A = this chain, B = another copy of it.
């Protein structure tokens, strides 16, 4: 039997990469038939290392907003690369991009650019601590804010001191927020907030406007800064900070992933109040001043301003969630499609170790649709109504297969930790 190219690559990777792969793109917690390696991408589609094509509802875990290889954005990148990219100093593009982002995002008066989303959240933390000369942050249990020692979800290799001065509350729970802020006493530097609840493995939830407003009030009362971590959701919820939809402006917001449609750049945006604190910290990176990703970001922002991408994403996402819920119900399953339609998460009822979910997404994969069984997904503007139809059609067949097999599904050993309620 011929091994797939993906299997050959996995064996080679096992020799030269610890654990064979690391981070969010390791497929260790996905169904066994999911490919680890890809070969190319175009628009809304991706090809695995064996040449099989999928409609990709992960969009690179967010960076793909306008389609893989979007011609105008990539042309802007390549044009700037020919002029100069990583230089001995920044170019005019850095000023223009800071101007454009502060024009787009209501609360923002200034911008700092970096590479990782984690760079931006760490800079937000440092800015808040420098601004307040205090240490403690309040943040929601289970919310992902990056993979630095202070916030990485798995504590291996970190120390208790790395993770000191953090108090956790429950997202959307005003009483627990108030208790956490009270516990911080006079040492509260910042309240960190995800724009909505987009934790892995559980239903997503929209921000309760009362919770968001209370975050703002408590920050104002204590002199702490309010930080919205928009790395994952930014530009998919609004042409502004994602909490603009609930009418709350933070002091700092963090951005990344799709702001240059997959080219490497992230950003910390801040209001006037936080400028001095931001200017006092020393943060930098070898590639933070790169001009080509800034050219790509400017072109991405032009498309954000001048196209109806957001309305289309939202409408397609709602149709997809509604259509899947309906087809699942028709097949006798409860399928919870949570979160905004353009960043959905699909979980089956009565499926604690995700065996139904795993079977369903494997069936979808066989039918050319790449879904994620436990992480929120992302739609991109290169998707069409025909693509949504294709997902719904594939789902009908996959749900029929699930109905036939549901009684005999084996437990998902690799997700056994879910039954224990821990991760």
Contacts and interface: CB of A to CB of B under 8 A. Distances in A.
B129 A286 contact: no
Nearest to A102: B16
A254 B115 CA distance: 18
A282 B153 contact: yes
Interface residues of A, number: 114
A126 B157 contact: yes
Interface string A100-128: 00100000011110011111001001111
A11 to B, nearest CB: 10
Interface string A18-54: 1101111101000000011111111000110100000
Interface stretch (A175-183, A197-205, A257-265, A383-391): A257-265
A98 B17 CA distance: 7
Interface string A127-144: 111100001000000000
A154 interface: yes
B159 A164 contact: yes
A346 interface: no
Interface string A239-283: 000000000000000001100001110100010000111111111
Nearest to A128: B157
Give the one of A35, A61, A115 with max B CB within 10 A.
Answer: A115
Contact of A63 (B149, B270, B287): B287
A303 B122 CA distance: 36
Given A22-B112, A40-B83, A115-B116, 14 more contacts: A22-B282, A25-B289, A37-B89, A58-B88, A74-B81, A77-B81, A115-B285, A117-B286, A126-B156, A130-B157, A154-B282, A156-B280, A161-B164, A264-B293
